[in-house]
Amino acid sequence: MPDTPELALDLHAATPPWLLVHLREWMSGTGDKGHAYLVVSEDAEEASLFAKQLAMQQLCHDLQDRMACRQCQSCKAFLQGTHGDLLLLQVLEGKTAIGIDQVREATHFLQQTALYGATKLLLVRDADQMTLAAANSLLKTLEEPSGNALVLLSSSEAWRLPPTVRSRCQLLRLPNVQKDAALEWLGSQVQVTATDAEHLLDMAQGRAVRARLMTDSEDLAAQEALVASFLVLDQQQGGPPAAWSGVDVSVLLSELLAWVEGQVREVDSDGFCHHSQNWILLHRCVAELSLRIKHGATPGKDIVIAELFRLCRSREHAAFGKIAGRFLSSLGREGMGN
């Protein structure tokens, strides 16, 4: 029986009200629900949480007000993380991507007879982190699904998925939540002041569910130091900030990418020709490096940190275009976007 301890949580209490609204709307819809869905949100944690809620609804034997009852045998097994008809596919600890062997095992799982009802369900968290081989393997399942199979993918960077995979899924795009609503929910979830709640939300780049999970993380201090380091890069003396070495490379890339995206949005239109173009070019460099690592590249952490620091510090240099071009060329991406 698949063991999915990540699902053993109080989903209802942990789910923001705006997501519950979308869940009820989806459940009340008519027509063919399909066999594969891609849940997309700027907040990867929100997309994953919505997909989990949707999975529990699909497996529930006694829906109440279009929501999972949480009392039937299926719901109890789901909440305990021991549901025999549910498999969670995600990046394994110590790995940087979802590999083809994981997908092959998932395909075999979907072909087996359901234990609790009529549906076998596969959850793919951070689907954009599949290697190309893994994505192509999953495509075969999406094209020729088992009669009782349901596949739910979640992603905050769906554009990284091959178009063929995206086209085989029905899209469930979660809208951005207003800041006031996010702060109200966050304040109800954690015992912090309004100022601290806003600080958490800012730390999470406006991603409410991510902010909520950060309060439970032992790495919160490291995360705060990381984000703070971005703000003083221009004044950083010597080598890269020490905070960059205190987090995993995937976290550094993700947070740096989000921060650069924020800088692009804030650039005044009058300065677009120089400042915005350099920010966009920096974003492209970080995004391409992140993509390479997600797809299996294994550069040393020290090398990654040194290259990112060099790029960030060179952003205002007159020759930044050439510096970024050489970096992209080293990744084999010099022609992308041209």
Q: How confident is the model at residue 31 (pLDDT cuts 50, 70, 90)?
A: low
Q: Which of 24-33, 69-78, 303-312 has the lowest mean pLDDT?
A: 24-33
What the block records as the tokens of 66 is: 């279009």
**In the prediction, which pLDDT does 334 show?**
45
Rounded to an integer, the average pLDDT of 217-239 is: 80
Sort 55 into a burial class: Cβ within 10 Å, 0-12 / 13-18 / 19+.
Answer: buried
Q: How many CA atoms lie within 13 A of 61 on its CB side?
A: 12
Residue that has been written with the tokens 């130091």 in this structure? 225
Between 20 and 40, name the one with better pLDDT. 40
Rounded to an integer, the average pLDDT of 316-333 is: 86
Q: What is the pLDDT of residues 161-195, one digit of tens each?
A: 999 999 999 999 998 899 999 999 988 888 878 88
**According to the CATH classification, is domain 5-173 in 3.40.50.12780?**
no
Q: What is the pLDDT of residues 109-156, one digit of tens each?
A: 999 988 887 889 999 999 999 999 999 999 999 998 887 899 999 999
* Residue 69: pLDDT over 70: yes
- The answer to whether residues 217 and 223 touch, using CB atoms and an 8 Å cutoff, is yes
Q: Where are the domains of the chain?
A: 5-173, 177-216, 232-330
Between 217 and 213, name the one with better pLDDT. 213
Q: What is the pLDDT of residues 253-294, one digit of tens each?
A: 988 988 898 888 776 554 555 567 889 999 999 999 988 887
Between 26 and 178, name the one with better pLDDT. 178
